[in-house]
Amino acid sequence: MKPRQHADSCSVHFGAHSVSCANLVRLRGLVRPVQLRAEPVSVQVDLSRSALVVVDMQNDFCHPKGWFSLSGTDVAYSRALIPVLRAVMTSARHQAMQVIHLHWGVRPDCLEMPVGSLSFGTRFGARTGYGETPPGGMGPALVAGSWGARAIEELAPKEGDIVVHKNRFSGFWHNELDAILRRLDISTLFFAGINTERCVLASMQDATFLGYDVLLIEDAAASPAPPASAQAAHELIRQIYGFTLCAAEFIQPAEHSHF
């Protein structure tokens, strides 16, 4: 998706003189409304002002040689998402919807990270943390530009996709995500990725605080936590933040009635 450009340059006439002016008019694209079956109720959204946000599908979280796996987390849960996420991302691009890869990407010295977050990252000394290389690892965990911070090969960004780095569970702190979305005139965000009750939920919450409408593609998001954690996140989203829907509903919007 390209930014909506302003109109042609303009001029102002003062008597016999013509002076150039700055045209700040933003041209909006055609509205592309679609109705989707969702919970707690069906929703109508404008696809022309929607984006897909794929959270944290990175080597350090999803690859067998990444930080999570080498620290003892079974990454089968995240790798199981790859087929459905590939289909969801392909569908979004086919619908001319902006795809945004929202990734962890910290400084090598982690000076932007709160002390408490660094402690939780190491599980209070039980493992290596942000910016540290785990035994047998490919490099420092989640440092921007490193192998671990890159998208997994199966879901690598394509031309036109946007990659935004974060250093908090929420994707809306200390980065340019909100500015990019506003520049693109996006108002509705579909979320997918990992982990449901952590970075996905935190990003959805902050998105609503900033005025965006949010939807979670339930079966395109996952977590290594007990099922009750994701279930609680789903309930919170449906009760006060937004909506949930299944991947098949997102992938096949052409089958639904437009209004």
Annotation marks residue 199 as catalytic: yes
Rg over alpha carbons for the chain, rounded to the nearest Å, is 20
Catalytic residue among 161, 199, 213, 219: 199
What CA–CA distances, in Å, run from 45 to 2, 35, 75, 258?
Answer: 20, 7, 33, 10
Cα 55 from Cα 18, distance rounded (Å): 51
3-state helix, strand, coil in the chain (%, to 5): 30, 25, 45
User: What six digits make up the tokens of 65?
Assistant: 């040689």
Nearest alpha-carbon partner for 207 in 229, 222, 223, 188: 188
Annotation marks residue 158 as catalytic: no
Cα 259 from Cα 255, distance rounded (Å): 13
Cα 223 from Cα 193, distance rounded (Å): 9
Cα 207 from Cα 102, distance rounded (Å): 13
Annotation marks residue 10 as catalytic: no
Phi-psi region of 139 (alpha: psi -120 to 50; beta: other; left: phi over 0): left
Catalytic residue among 110, 161, 166, 213: 166
Please list the active-site residues.
Answer: 56, 166, 199
